Amino acid sequence: MPSIPHFEDLSAKEIYESLDLRWSASEKLDGSYLEAGLDDEGFFYSRRKGGEKIYSMDDWPDECWASTYRIAHEMAGMLVEALVKEQAIQPGNHIGFEIIHGRQPNVVHYSFDSRYNGMMVITTVSWKPSTEFYSIVEHFEAFYVVPVRQSSDGMTSQVTLEHQEWCIRFNQQISQELIQARLTPSAQKIRKVLDMWFPQASNVEDFTIAEILDINLARKHEKCGDRNWNELRKELKREREQLWEIFRALVLLFKDIAYKVLVDEMPSVVGAGSRKEGVVVLTPGGLFKLVDRPNFAAANLFIHRVKYMLVGGRRPVRPCFLSRTKDWPKEKRLARLTTLLYRYMKHRSRLRFTPDRSGSQQTLYVGYVGDLHQRMLNLFADTRKRIEDGR
């Protein structure tokens, strides 16, 4: 599943068209995605993004990282059961949730009612829900006992039965009317500037600025004529890079205004006092996101630094401890992992991310404490168990 593009990464044409502000927006939540519903035969299932359908909580891996999904599977199952009783869900229907487990599920710190261990926020519904659906979900919460595996030392993990109380929330939409009322003056100013700038001639003969910004250099352009295409392509590429620097500066000015209105000034669906990653905006042309990119990207890299070291990463692809040491004797792998755990425990208090305070105030100082530290202990214990099992 492709990731949602940043606003500033859209094409010049897409950005210009988006300034008509036919937007609806919702909070971009920094949790874990889960799809849950009924398959075509009417059996309940849940699955991670891009994963296989899982029909029983016991089918989730018996590892620390899966405890969040085990809890969410049970919670979603109780909700779907209530919906089935009221005929508010049918076979083939599913719901998309963002799981917020703990106060810091990833980068963003959340603040919700202290009696809850977490919440599941509904982000998508695959059908047009009935009034009964909203009535059930609006007041749905559950108190139940669930087995949770976690580690206290990074070496071993234990399963304990925990009393968990969770709630369900809808990810509220920011209306198009509000967005247009707040952002139209700024969007109109940007459009006026672009209306004058785009038609102007570029520094490449026969090409306007608008043509240069979104030009496709993968194939010979129809305006090439008798000119050498390889030389012209180099010239077009240089011009495009220079024009995009100017265009992006203008776009980021508008993005800062939109971010302030839609992120900084709007309350979080999770609860008052929660920070927010950003918003996802839906337009007739598709989706994009508004995020405090420099701060969030740096904080995200920081909190995943130890994780990438142990289990690798996908974007970009990073080798993991297991793959790097797969040819080592088991005893040597375990000894090396113990050394890494010792270093982490000794130095984790010095690991601290400090955001750029000149920008958005959404990002808090981040350190390897609390929920983040617990996830690292779980990760070390899961990795050790995998080595012991011959992986």
Cα–Cα–Cα angle for 116, 117, 121, rounded to 5 degrees: 80
Closest of 112, 120, 107 to residue 74, by C-alpha: 120
AA identity, residue 53? K
How many percent of the chain have pLDDT more than 90? 71
Same domain? For 284 and 306 the reply is no
- Quote the CA–CA distance of 327 and 329 in Å, as a whole number: 7
Give the pLDDT confidence of 219-228 residue by residue, as tens digits. Answer: 999 998 889 9
pLDDT of residue 361 exceeding 50, the answer is no
Residue 70 contacts residue 57 (beta carbons within 8 Å):
yes
How many percent of the chain have pLDDT more than 70? 94
Confidence at residue 113, expressed as pLDDT on a 0 to 100 scale: 86
Confidence at residue 365, expressed as pLDDT on a 0 to 100 scale: 63
Asked if residue 106 belongs to a domain, the reply is yes
Token pair recorded at residue 54: 């899982």
Least confident of 176-180, 212-216, 239-243, 340-344: 340-344
Closest of 215, 29, 37, 51 to residue 106, by C-alpha: 29
pLDDT of residue 363 exceeding 60, the answer is no
Residue 381 contacts residue 154 (beta carbons within 8 Å):
yes
Q: What is the mean pLDDT of residues 124-132?
A: 95
The residue range of the domain holding 242 is 7-24+177-291
Closest of 301, 253, 261, 310 to residue 281, by C-alpha: 261
Of 275, 291, 307, which one is at a domain's C-terminal end?
291
Least confident of 29-33, 150-154, 291-295: 291-295
- Quote the CA–CA distance of 157 and 153 in Å, as a whole number: 8
Of 291, 324, 349, which one is at a domain's C-terminal end?
291
Give the pLDDT confidence of 68-124 residue by residue, as tens digits. Answer: 999 999 999 999 999 999 999 999 999 999 999 988 888 888 988 888 999 999 999
Confidence at residue 1, expressed as pLDDT on a 0 to 100 scale: 52
Give the pLDDT confidence of 268-323 residue by residue, as tens digits. Answer: 999 888 888 999 999 999 999 999 988 888 888 787 777 777 765 555 566 778 88
pLDDT of residue 324 exceeding 60, the answer is yes
Asked if residue 2 belongs to a domain, the reply is no
**Structural domain count, the chain:** 3
Asked if residue 82 belongs to a domain, the reply is yes
